[in-house]
Amino acid sequence: MSDDVVADVRRIFDDLDEVAERVESARSAASLRPMGTRAREDAADRERGRVLADGVSGLAKVRAGREVDDAERIGLRAIVQQEGRPAIVVRDGDFGEPPALWSQLSGRRERIREVIARAGRVEVDGHPDHAWVGTAWLVAPATLMTNRHVASKFCRRRRRSWTFRPGMQSRIDFVREQDSTGSLQFEITEAIGVHDDHDLALLRIEGASRDGRPLPDPLAVAASAPRDLLGREVYLVGYPMSDPDRNEPEAIQRIFRDVFDVKRLQPGRTIGYSTALSALEHDCSTLGGNSGSPLVDLETNLVIGLHFGGTYEVGNYAVPLWMLVDDPLLKAGGIDFR
């Protein structure tokens, strides 16, 4: 395991003593709570506490400039994910209390709730392997934006256009929250277009839900790069799924408490620009189901990117949407650039 996590700790946290004290206090409080009726979750919490204890030990070594061991590196990664790059569960269209490093989210709660309400899970009937395939969001009236690789799960190219694969139907559900049986589903009716150069697709949906509720207004997209592009506070809204083939499974289970496929708010920062991929790099905590999530600038609440992929402990990538203001596909889709 590389020491990239140590570099992340130094980059993300200003006061390691404060972080260690906060984590240890929360860990101690959790250990005093009585065990509940869900044995699997209780066991996961106990294991999480053990890992965080190793992380606190690792923080002390980082502060002293000493080398950390493998267990402490895993613990440091858990602390980065819990305190620095959390994946906050969404319930009833809102998010819970963020960690101290992200307390500023609470002051922007109403605007973030607007984004939460406009991001949904793309679900498919008739697929041999998947019941759902990624995230999408309202980018124009009755129009969704997602990734090309998400749309290709149920669409295919025929000559110059894209159509649904035979025997498949798709919809978006704007709820799919933890411990919720509610739904807000709209049928996906056609593929408006799939981009040739970027991992991006536009899909048409019905203007009313299955139970007659109307669509909300779409999200606005930034027409230009935000000032001081790198190091900006951003967030995703999406549906991380368990993908152990691409990520270290035990670490992912600890980070996400073995709860997947539900809506989460995932804050982070922009960290670079990849000219090879023509992509904006960010460090939000993501998994496979986040494909198609909107990357939103926290200050302006404008969408600046379309998340399309990442590698565990390496980085995450988003299509920089402001670079596509004059793109024919986005113009045809009626995207609201501001």
Whether 304 maps to a domain, the answer reads no
pLDDT, greater one: 220 or 38: 220
Residue 26 CB burial class (10 angstroms; 0-12, 13-18, ≥19) = middle
- CB neighbour list of residue 302: distance below 8 Å, 6 or more residues apart: 220, 221, 222, 226, 296, 338
User: Which one of 205, 232, 251 terminates a domain?
Assistant: 205
The domain total for the chain is: 2
**Cα gap 325→299, rounded to integer Å:** 21
Picking from 205, 231, 254, the residue at the C-terminal end of a domain is 205
- 52 occurs within a structural domain: yes
Tell me: pLDDT of 212 over 50.
yes
pLDDT score of 40 more than 60 = no
Task: For 204-244, give the DSSP string.
Answer: EE-SB-TTSPBPPPPPPB-SSPPSS-TT-EEEEEE-----T
> Does residue 4 surpass a pLDDT of 90?
no
Residue 91 falls inside a structural domain: no
Beta-carbon contacts of 281 under 8 Å, excluding residues fewer than 6 positions away, are: 270, 271, 272, 273, 274, 315, 316, 317, 318
Looking at the fold, whether 148 and 201 belong to one and the same domain comes out as yes
Q: Which domain holds residue 167?
A: 118-205
Using a pLDDT cut of 90, give the percent of the chain over it: 73
- What torsion do the CA atoms of 164, 169, 172, 175 make, to the nearest 10 degrees? -160
In the predicted structure, residue 256 carries a pLDDT above the cut 70: no
The whole-number pLDDT of residue 26 equals: 85
The answer to whether residues 63 and 139 belong to one domain is no
In a domain, 179, yes or no: yes
* Shared domain check, 76 and 138: no
Residues 131-144 have a mean pLDDT of: 97
- Asked whether residue 252 is assigned to any structural domain, the reply reads no
Q: Please indicate, yes or no, if residue 168 is contained in any of the structural domains.
A: yes
Distance CA 229, CA 227 (A): 5
- Based on the domain organization, do 75 and 126 belong to the same domain? no
Predicted confidence (pLDDT) per residue in 64-93, tens digit = 999 999 999 989 988 998 899 999 999 999
- Write down the pTM of the prediction: 0.91
First CA to last CA distance, the chain: 43
Predicted pLDDT at 1: 40
- Residues 123, 200, single domain; the answer is yes
Q: Which single residue is written with the structure tokens 């319930």?
A: 91
Tell me, what CATH number does 176's domain have? 2.40.10.10
- The answer to whether the beta carbons of residues 318 and 305 sit under 8 Å apart is yes
Q: Is residue 113 assigned to a domain?
A: no
Own/partner pairs, 242-249, CB within 8 angstroms, 24+ separation: 242/287, 243/287, 243/288, 243/289, 246/288, 246/311, 246/312, 247/287, 247/312, 248/312
Mean pLDDT on 125-145: 95
- C-alpha of 73 from chain center: 23
Give the lowest-confidence range in 228-232, 235-239, 258-262. 258-262
Same domain for 11 and 72, yes or no, is yes
Does residue 193 lie in a domain region?
yes
Same domain for 132 and 186, yes or no, is yes
Last-in-domain residue among 190, 205, 220: 205
Which pLDDT band, with edges at 50, 70 and 90, does 28 fall under?
confident
Query: Can you tell me the mean pLDDT for 102-124?
Result: 98
pLDDT classification of 314: cutoffs 50, 70, 90: low
Cα distances from 250 to residues 46, 53, 241, 246, in angstroms, run 14, 16, 14, 12
Residues 136 and 59 in one domain: no
> Is residue 194 located within the same domain as residue 124?
yes
pLDDT of residue 122: 98
Structure tokens at 297: 């600038």
Assess whether 123 and 46 both reside in one domain: no
Find the angle CA(137)-CA(202)-CA(172) to the nearest 5 degrees.
45
